Amino acid sequence: MASVTLENLFKNYGDAKRPNVALKGIDLEIRDREFMVLVGPSGCGKSTTLRVIAGLEDLTSGRVIIDGQEMNHVLPRDRDIAMVFQNYALYPHMSVYENMAFALKMRRFPADEIRSRVESAAKALDITSYLHRKPHTLSGGQMQRVALGRAIVRSPRVFLFDEPLSNLDAKARVSMRTEIVKLHDRLQATMIYVTHDQVEAMTMGDRICVMNEGKIVQVDEPLNIYNRPVNMFVAAFIGSPQINFIKGRIVSEEGRSCFVEQNDDADALRFDIGEQLSLRMEAHRGKTLVLGVRPEDIYDQRRCTATQPTSQQFARVEISEPMGPETYLYLNTGAHPLIARVRSNDRYQTNEQLQFRMDLAKLHFFDAESGLAL
Amino acid sequence: MRPFRKASLLLGISQTMTYVLLTLASLVTLAPFYWLAVAAFKNKEDFFAYNFLPPGEGLFGVAWERLSLGNFTRIFTELDFANNILNSVFLASTTAVLSTITAAMGGYALARFEFRGRNLVLAVVLTALVIPAPLLLAPSYQLLYHLNLLDSYAGLLLPAVAPAFGVFLFRQTMLNSVPPSLIESARIDGCGELRTFFTIVLPLVRPMLGAYLMISFLGTWNNFINPQIILQDAEKFPLSVALASLQTAYRSEYGMITAGTLVSIAPVALLFLLLQKEFIRGLTSGAVKE
């Protein structure tokens, strides 16, 4: 297995006159045996980064290092990597067995070893029964298993996954997700996984690298990314339903520190942020900032048993979406829409007035201009 | 009348009409072949006397005794016909194989490689497509003269092995049938460019390979103008030129011409029968998204 180091990667698809820069100085250290997930919106450069590691794209500048060895001028076949593509990329004229054996044949492995490796990988992925079938006779999930098998038989130093679950239906996606995590646990291999799906990122990665507009925004463990986003982009990108943002400022009112929504409306949010938060935000008092509150940190007053300090507000229920164990409430304070995620114990009527509370300990504050977390 | 019965009656009438029209079209297409097949067996006197079989006392009212293999014997004894057949087979098969490989390679490069000047090359290919072939006869002749390639097979083969039509056809096929991720997967799996082309890319465009092999073979087999202009030595003549030489201002051997034509059709018909599945799949590939 191997570590992968990316040093100041730049990739310009255009030229000097008409630049089309996909990567703008990517620095990343992927540890040996780590499962690193690159996540971000379309066009953020995550797939380009993966393709650069694979050697499928040339770099404009920077260095790709695998296990201490610079790879910039090494051909894809000599990098000892395996890649699983979004559209499986199985050779349609070859059987499943031939697909899995192809890379080993190219490397002139003895026939016995090829057979034993393919059969062992097929057994592990439960695809033995269709080794002699052609790819077009398989379902999407089966094809992706074959694509995984084709990567495993090589025992490469690094596994690269380019949105491998995007083409699968919801059920197959969940099953393949756990399959890949188990595979990582079993093989203890270095894996780099590209996705735009935050659920995949949160559930699969040892660490997540959030990218936007060709740059890395934050690299950290999944829960740290969720609980301590470095800026509004990360806070908004990770988490579903999306975090609520409310622009306002912290002001002193009758000796107390209050957050006041920047809105002249009579229904504008206004609440006491408590002593602890007041101390933390002292330096930002009076400045325009953005409050971030995750939907699950908004509670229905009637069900609120939290002992921690909370704020108390009123809102009108616009839509209620029962999801089974929980319900998404689309609220309107009169000045601001909010999404809350509450337990499904109660039924909510449209236009019902709801008293809600926010968990003060879990509020996020961001600089209104830079978007950086405060 | 119930609507269901009415609909099925209309369907029956429309199907019958379709078959009648198709039968008529088949008759129109097959009539010249029938005429040719009959004419090849007729003697000189009967050739213009009767449109089809000479009437007589024999079976079906035909004078079978007046038909003979004489024309066939004459083309093989009086002419160097066996040699002409070999020349045609050699020229057509070599051109077909070489032009299919180069057209597939060219189309692959234009479809899946990014290189400086790619659009310019594509524009040249497209321009070459719209220039009528007769316009190029004189400049090609001059070029071959300067290259000292007149009266040689190379003079016929070289201009034919990189056809603009084939390159463009394969480019379009590659765009539809060869996903970039397959090529990338092959590169990661350990294939070099040539092996990727022959092991992964060519099998994906197999229907078009079959279709183009046949188009190219037929084109060369039937080509008359180019060998007529470029070749001077009768030893090197293909069938098309040899058959045409039977009709001059002073001599017209129609019996031999029809017998020769019949013989010349045989290999082509055989090839079509062998490759017709591929041919039809090739022509319709890309019409349906798979």
User: Number of Cβ pairs closer than 8 Å across A and B?
Assistant: 50
Q: β-strands A4-12, A61-66: how paired?
A: antiparallel
Mean pLDDT confidence for B61-85? 86
Predicted local confidence at residue A308, as pLDDT: 58
Alpha helices in A268-314 (DSSP H): 274-280
Q: How many CB atoms lie within 10 A of CB B130?
A: 7
The answer to whether A76 contacts chain B (CB < 8 Å) is yes
The answer to whether A58 contacts chain B (CB < 8 Å) is no
From chain A, pick out residues whose CB is under 8 angstroms from the CB of B195.
106
Per the structure block, which two tokens stand in for B160?
């034919």
| Identity of the residue in B179, B190, B203 whose CB atom sits nearest the CB atom of A77 | B190
pLDDT exceeds 60 at position B46 = yes
Contact A56 B187 (CB under 8 A): yes
pLDDT in tens, B119-171: 999 999 999 999 888 888 899 999 999 999 999 999 999 989 889 999 999 99
Sequence-distant (6+) residues with CB within 8 A of B231 are B151, B155, B156, B237, B241
Contact A91 B181 (CB under 8 A): no
Give the long-range contacts of residues A268-277, CB within 8 A, separation 24 or more.
Answer: A268/A333, A268/A335, A268/A336, A269/A313, A269/A333, A269/A335, A269/A336, A271/A311, A271/A312, A271/A313, A271/A358, A272/A311, A273/A311, A273/A360, A273/A363, A274/A309, A274/A360, A276/A309, A276/A360, A276/A361, A277/A360, A277/A363
Sequence-distant (6+) residues with CB within 8 A of B282 are B207, B208, B209, B210, B211, B212
Weakest-pLDDT range from A105-109, A183-187, B170-174: A183-187
CA distance linking residue B245 with residue A372, whole number of Å: 89
pLDDT in tens, A314-370: 888 889 898 888 889 999 887 788 899 988 777 888 888 888 888 888 889 999 888
Question: Residue B20, Cα to own-chain centre: how many angstroms?
Answer: 29
CA distance linking residue A137 with residue A133, whole number of Å: 7
- Domain for residue A236, yes or no? no
- Domain for residue A181, yes or no? yes
From chain A, pick out residues whose CB is under 8 angstroms from the CB of B187.
55-56, 75-77
Q: Taking chain A, what is the end-to-end CA distance rounded to the nearest angstrom?
A: 39
Q: Which residue, among A238, A241, A336, has the nearest Cα to A291 in the 3D structure?
A: A336
pLDDT exceeds 50 at position B286 = no
| Identity of the residue in B181, B188, B200 whose CB atom sits nearest the CB atom of A81 | B188
The answer to whether B182 contacts chain A (CB < 8 Å) is yes
- Domain for residue A141, yes or no? yes
Tally of domains in chain A? 2
Write out residues 200-219 of B within 8 Å (CB-CB) of A: 200, 203-204, 206
Task: Indicate the DSSP class of residue A304.
Answer: -
Per the structure block, which two tokens stand in for A107?
């490397």
A172, A319: one domain? no
CA distance linking residue B12 with residue B1, whole number of Å: 16
Write out residues 121-180 of B within 8 Å (CB-CB) of A: 179
- Domain for residue A182, yes or no? yes
Predicted local confidence at residue A335, as pLDDT: 76
SS3 A322: strand
Sequence-distant (6+) residues with CB within 8 A of A84 are A144, A147, A148, A151, A159, A160, A161, A162, A164
**How is chain A split among helix, strand and coil, in percent rounded to 5?**
30, 35, 35
Mean pLDDT confidence for B29-36? 91
Write out residues 68-107 of B within 8 Å (CB-CB) of A: none
Contact B187 A77 (CB under 8 A): yes
A290, A198: one domain? no
Domain residue limits at A152: 4-230
The answer to whether A106 contacts chain B (CB < 8 Å) is yes
The answer to whether B198 contacts chain A (CB < 8 Å) is no
The answer to whether A102 contacts chain B (CB < 8 Å) is yes
Which of these three, A189, A205, A230, is where a domain ends? A230
SS3 B254: helix
Per the structure block, which two tokens stand in for B8?
């099925």
- Domain for residue A100, yes or no? yes
Identity of residue B159 = P
A180, A50: one domain? yes
From chain A, pick out residues whose CB is under 8 angstroms from the CB of B197.
none
pLDDT exceeds 90 at position A190 = yes
Residue A305 sits in a domain of what CATH number? 2.40.50.140
Residue A166 sits in a domain of what CATH number? 3.40.50.300
A149, A108: one domain? yes
Q: What ipTM was reported for this prediction?
A: 0.84
Counting residues of chain A whose pLDDT is more than 90, the rounded percentage is: 52
For domain B72-284, give the CATH number: 1.10.3720.10
The answer to whether A127 contacts chain B (CB < 8 Å) is no
Strands (E) located in A53-144: 61-66, 69-70, 81-84
Confidence bin at B201 (pLDDT 50/70/90)? very high
Closest chain B residue to the Cα of A13, Cα to Cα: B114
Contact A77 B203 (CB under 8 A): no
Closest chain A residue to the Cα of B186, Cα to Cα: A103
Per the structure block, which two tokens stand in for A70?
């610079």
Triad A74, A78, A82: Cα angle to 5°: 115
pLDDT exceeds 80 at position A138 = yes
- Rounded to the nearest 5°, which phi and psi values hold at A365? -125, 140
Counting residues of chain A whose pLDDT is more than 70, the rounded percentage is: 96
CA distance linking residue B38 with residue B40, whole number of Å: 5
Average pLDDT in chain A: 89
Q: Which residue, among B33, B35, B41, B36, has the nearest Cα to B74 in the 3D structure?
A: B41
Mean pLDDT confidence for A10-30? 89
Predicted local confidence at residue B287, as pLDDT: 39
Q: β-strands A207-212, A353-359: how paired?
A: unpaired
From chain A, pick out residues whose CB is under 8 angstroms from the CB of B181.
85-87, 89
CA distance linking residue A60 with residue B241, whole number of Å: 58
- Domain for residue A142, yes or no? yes
Q: Are A159 and A181 in contact (CB under 8 A)?
A: no
- Domain for residue A372, yes or no? no
pLDDT in tens, A218-252: 999 999 999 999 999 999 999 889 999 988 888 88
Which of these three, A230, A264, A296, is where a domain ends? A230
Per the structure block, which two tokens stand in for B107?
């189309």
| B interface test, pick of A53, A56, A94 with most B CB neighbours within 10 Å | A56
From chain A, pick out residues whose CB is under 8 angstroms from the CB of B116.
none
Q: Are A11 and A72 in contact (CB under 8 A)?
A: no
Positive or negative CA dihedral for B27, B30, B34, B35? positive
Q: Which residue, among A372, A371, A272, has the nearest Cα to A313 in the 3D structure?
A: A272
Helices (H) and strands (E) in chain A, counts: 9, 20
Contact A87 B190 (CB under 8 A): no
Domain-wise residue ranges, chain B:
12-68, 72-284
A68, A111: one domain? yes
pTM above 0.95, yes or no: no
Confidence bin at A147 (pLDDT 50/70/90)? very high
Phi-psi region of A77 (alpha: psi -120 to 50; beta: other; left: phi over 0): alpha
The answer to whether A89 contacts chain B (CB < 8 Å) is yes
Mean pLDDT confidence for A171-200? 90
